[in-house]
Chains A and B, each alone.
Chain A
């Protein structure tokens, strides 16, 4: 089973957020990451030329979500990597193992839209009700 909607953009006066959906938490985490990169660039222009493995431990599910997105912000900011697809290999309350596929940003190929400083805990929601719905506000 797949969800028809992966994510949507949420307006916030000073910042911007996303709402991500998934049949399970893994899919919702992957869609949240996709939502994040859709703010930065047009995902259709990104090829899967490289991948990065991510392994995170956090205090709880909420921290894990914020850490996951901040780890991806870090890869973009420090290494210029644009991710377009994510495999969540392992996920429980405190641990996440994932692989992100994408390529290095290239200004002749990718339009860079919004700079994301960080994912925040502000209005953060992880809701389970016929699948998962995640809400995250980014500082941009």
Chain B
């Protein structure tokens, strides 16, 4: 019953599967799914093919509507989708970025070992939980004024660093140096600002988390060393959050506004959630300016959280920052649209690359990555579920050639939140994680059940596919020992 997809897709090789334009009338390019044969069964059952095909309708889309192996059914765009559109005659779609604009991951190294941290893991997790506001309805400790919020939108991480929250080198080790250009506070609604103000400096709920992890396996020791990852058993810190209600409201506002633009520009779409406008139109430019404001808010948010995490480590281990060595390895976006140049048929073309649940994966030598990583490629951060592992990888030339410099972003859900809650109890999830040596503190037991490891695909299968396909290469695997959930 599950092999019906075999009649639809064309196998290119073991990791690449094409959905031809004949699959659905209106597709202007084929779909290309990076997956193993065994994972395609689930992808097909989920109707994700349909969404990959729908994205191929977008005017100006180049080459393929792409799907990473962690693809799952989203709204409009699939999650794990990548689409590049020509700036000169293509469109930008808020649905191709998602509601949580610049939801992303920040990875930090430490000088601590698993042995040292295990003895203090309970107080550490408790301290992090108290020091970093998390959970539904929580408010931040940052009391920014409306004018300050406008500055955050334009400045990004630097706004926090200038006020003593973090170090200048954190900015260098952040995608876009933590500040996306073109942000304009006047393109953001009063509603978004009202939602954003109290939530600055909060982790949020749902799949957002903070994780104390241990290096479990090294695949490329030389590259790992460049990142400050020296050996197995070294403790790292992973922060996963985004632009909170601020970004959600901007997306809602612009799906509505661009829904009108679709009529104005006579664009034919199979799904209203794909609402879009020409990249070069007033509506398209306004969205990109508002989106950049949310991206900068998200980086500022992660900057605050990193600062409080450093404080918590210093307090619990009674060590100075120099002794702790908590240097930021990198910070990546998982939900974003970027204007980037690619070689298309021998000509340099300016494209709007939508990454919705996908990570930029630039290769060694690329001018847009920090100098320290130019010899190895951009670090790619791929969190898994809270019971198993996460990965660090590197961007490649193959990603530039095939996927507009993009790769996967995580495990991808397997079970709906409802199904997870029906089959699992939060307390049991906490107990089974404790049995595996993972200390968890969550704002609500329901969120713990919804986010249980069993609700997710195995991220190692996802990462193996992108590794074998060559669009990102594995450097290290980590496993959690302490987790904070909203």
- Chain A positions within 8 Å of B, measured between CB atoms, are 9, 11-16, 40, 58-59, 62-63, 66-67, 70, 73-74, 77-78, 80, 105, 107, 111-115, 117-124, 137, 139-140
Contacts and interface: CB of A to CB of B under 8 A. Distances in A.
A75 to B, nearest CB: 10
Contacts of B252: 70, 73, 118-119
A70 B189 CA distance: 14
Which secondary structure dominates chain A's binding surface? loop
Nearest to B78: A14
Return the 4 tightest CB-CB contacts between A and B, nearest first.
Answer: A122-B75, A121-B272, A11-B416, A120-B75
B74 to A, nearest CB: 6
A117 B248 contact: yes
Contact of A112 (B74, B100, B136, B272): B136
Interface stretch (B122-130, B149-157, B253-261): B253-261
Contacts, number: 110
A59 B79 CA distance: 28
A126 B415 CA distance: 27
Contact of B195 (A78, A112, A123): A78
B271 A121 contact: yes
13 contacts: A14-B416, A15-B74, A15-B417, A58-B256, A77-B249, A117-B100, A117-B245, A118-B251, A120-B75, A120-B76, A121-B76, A122-B75, A139-B248
A74 B192 CA distance: 9
Given A63-B259, A77-B195, A115-B136, A122 B271 contact: yes
A126 to B, nearest CB: 12
Contacts of B198: 78
B102 to A, nearest CB: 14
A102 B105 CA distance: 36
A13 B46 contact: yes
Contact of A107 (B137, B275, B447): B137
Contacts of B137: 80, 105, 107, 112
Contacts of B251: 118
A131 B456 CA distance: 38
Interface in B58-80: 72-76, 79
Interface in B82-108: 98-100
Contact of A122 (B76, B206, B417): B76
Given A11-B419, A14-B416, A114-B136, 20 more contacts: A9-B418, A12-B416, A13-B46, A13-B72, A15-B74, A15-B417, A16-B416, A58-B256, A62-B272, A63-B259, A74-B249, A78-B245, A107-B137, A114-B205, A115-B136, A115-B204, A119-B252, A121-B76, A121-B271, A124-B272
